[in-house]
């Protein structure tokens, strides 16, 4: 009597494994990959870097689509000019969340730096370059 029951359990267990595999790695992120506004520049925030870390854009307004791909850590994005003056700052993006970040008045022929301003993050490598032409 116990034998068919065991077969049933094994069958159900294998079904569960298939279901988990179908989600694949990164299936828990929810927001990533969906909801990106047309024409926006996607930027992935991980611990502790931006992907990509080098961005080119046209002068004027750039809309960034920020995807926090960390499981545990909130990140943000600050853009500063060559003198270190902050020209724009995003909201804090929680782990697994996305947000849009609109930056205006970017000047042609200018190189900006961007970084995460949470304590220690920039020093850990969370910075990049935005070149505007």
Q: Residues interacting with Cu ion, by CB under 5 A?
A: 75, 116, 118, 121, 126
Q: Which residue sits closest to Cu ion, CB atoms considered?
A: 116
Give min distance, CB of 11 to Cu ion, in A.
Answer: 45
Give min distance, CB of 82 to Cu ion, in A.
Answer: 22
Which is closer to Cu ion, CB of 75 or CB of 103? 75
Which is closer to Cu ion, CB of 62 or CB of 77? 77
Which is closer to Cu ion, CB of 29 or CB of 121? 121
The pair of structure tokens assigned to 85 is 């003056």
Give min distance, CB of 120 to Cu ion, in A.
Answer: 8
Place of tokens 């003056």: 85
Sequence-separated (6 or more) residues with CB below 8 Å from residue 115 = 77, 78, 80, 121, 122, 126, 127, 128
β-pairing, 54-57 with 127-132? parallel
DSSP bridge partners of 64? 41, 101
CB 61 within 8 A of CB 39: no
Give min distance, CB of 98 to Cu ion, in A.
Answer: 15
Q: How far is CA 33 from the centre of its chain?
A: 10
Which is closer to Cu ion, CB of 10 or CB of 123? 123
């Amino acid at each position: 009597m116990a034998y068919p029951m065991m077969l049933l359990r094994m069958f159900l267990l294998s079904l569960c494994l298939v279901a988990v595999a179908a989600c694949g790695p990164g299936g828990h992120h929810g927001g990533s990959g969906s909801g990106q506004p047309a024409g926006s520049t996607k930027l992935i925030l991980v611990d502790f870097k931006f992907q990509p870390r080098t961005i080119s854009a046209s002068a004027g307004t750039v809309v960034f689509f920020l995807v926090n791909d960390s499981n545990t850590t909130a990140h943000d994005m600050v853009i500063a000019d060559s003198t270190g003056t902050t020209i724009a700052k995003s909201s804090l993006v929680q782990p697994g969340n996305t947000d849009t970040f609109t930056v205006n008045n970017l000047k042609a022929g200018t190189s900006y730096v961007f970084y995460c301003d949470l304590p220690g993050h920039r020093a850990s490598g969370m910075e990049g370059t935005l070149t505007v032409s």
